[in-house]
Amino acid sequence: MTVFGEIAADYRRRLNEGGNEPPGLGLKLVRENRLGAVRLAAEYGGGDYTVPQFFEFLISLAEADPDLAHILRVHFANAEELQRVPVTAAKHRWISVIAEGRLIGGVSSEQTTRSVGGQSYDTKLTREAGGLRLRGRKFYSTGAQFSDYLRVTAENEDGAPVAAVVPADRTGVVHLDDWDGVGQRHTGSGTTVFEDVAVSDDEVLTLGTNVGVDRARGALVQLYLHAIAAGILRSVASEAATLVRERHRTYTFATADAPARDPQLLEIVGEIDAAAYAAEAVVLRAATELAPALDAARVNGIDAALEAKASIAAARVKVAIEEPALRAASRIFDVGGASSARSTAHLDRHWRNLRTLFSHNPTVYKARVLGDIAVNGAPLPDSGFF
């Protein structure tokens, strides 16, 4: 069995046993097979995947286990950030950690800040008599409790944004398993508290503040979410086909005696299949537009024009796939009959997971920005959401 096959089998086992268990085996396999290093350059001991190859890998991983794929999102963003020039000695330290198979998660969002997507943090990194100390509270900590290290954004004493990379189990780091989302339930997306956490000087990374200049845009992490959605849609399409193929009972007034020959059911399965195909196609198309931006950042630094093009592509994907995806996840119930609504069928997970992913940043704002660009040539917002 392939690694993805093992991950998928364990995901199904967890569902059948109540769906209350995080992907422990999947995380073990990720570490053992160094899957977190697939985007590291060969010179660092990584898999040297191209950007399109990486997104093909990610879609397949999300098909096998969408929670696991989501858990790794910040890790892969960190792996990319560490390879942008200049690659300092401090960055080399963490690149080596990734090459060994360990995971560097991260936390940034805070529920106490009024504006989402900026670089203003209530988490503080201050120097005291005994050294640097980190204090604060983060939310949406996806993957943090399952990681080996955490990249934590904060403000220093001058009010400048910085990042500290600390072990996830260091004294004072508290993981609260309080994520109560309707979907992506086992991603550890709740609260992380930093209670007087000791930080050494060599664990601090400086952060750029000018989006598209010394701070990368968010095209990678945004397209990453859409790739998870594409992987989920693969599962929806596969399960819809299986439902009809293996269904033996039908209604007295159905258009065919056998569900597998019912043209109405076949039409719905075809629509779901097409939605899954289209989502994957646009994600991979956007990946080809993201590739030049990520490649340039490793050689010459951040290229504002390439970053903007990649961000627009990622936004287009979100606007394009959301409604067809949610419709597909709902229509699977139309091919399964009344029994498909049983909780043991687990079909509701697809809609819940997709809805949670799409709520990450509202599509209505993405569509409005795209329209403003098309009509007025407006600039992209200076935000990590683009």
Residue 369: predicted pLDDT? 97
**Residue 58 in contact with residue 69, Cβ under 8 Å?**
yes
Confidence of residue 277 (pLDDT cuts 50, 70, 90): very high
Residue 273 has pLDDT above 90, yes or no: yes
Q: Does 1.20.1050.10 match the CATH number of domain 219-376? A: no
For 132-156, what is each residue's pLDDT tens digit? Answer: 999 999 989 899 999 999 999 999 9
Residue 212: predicted pLDDT? 67
Residue 293 has pLDDT above 90, yes or no: yes
CATH for 106-206 is 2.40.110.10
Residue 181 has pLDDT above 70, yes or no: yes
For 115-129, what is each residue's pLDDT tens digit? Answer: 666 667 889 999 988
Instruction: Spell out the domain ranges in the chain.
Output: 3-103, 106-206, 219-376
Per-chain mean pLDDT for the chain:
93
List, in sequence order, every residue forming a beta bridge with 108; answer none if it has no partner: none
Write the DSSP string, 123-135: -EEEEETTEEEEE
Q: Mean pLDDT over residues 19-44, rounded?
A: 96
Residue 213 has pLDDT above 90, yes or no: no
Residue 227 has pLDDT above 70, yes or no: yes
User: Which of these ranges, 65-69, 118-122, 232-236, has the smallest mean pLDDT?
Assistant: 118-122
For 310-359, what is each residue's pLDDT tens digit? Answer: 999 999 999 999 999 999 999 999 998 888 889 888 999 999 999 999 99
**Residue 244 in contact with residue 269, Cβ under 8 Å?**
yes
Q: At what angle do helices 24-32 and 3-16 cross, to 10 degrees?
A: 170
How many angstroms separate the CA atoms of 143 and 163, rounded?
A: 17
**Residue 153 in contact with residue 123, Cβ under 8 Å?**
yes
Residue 206: predicted pLDDT? 83
Residue 117: predicted pLDDT? 61
Residue 344: predicted pLDDT? 86
CATH topology of domain 3-103: Butyryl-Coa Dehydrogenase, subunit A; domain 1 (1.10.540)
Confidence of residue 114 (pLDDT cuts 50, 70, 90): low
Q: Mean pLDDT over residues 195-208, rounded?
A: 90
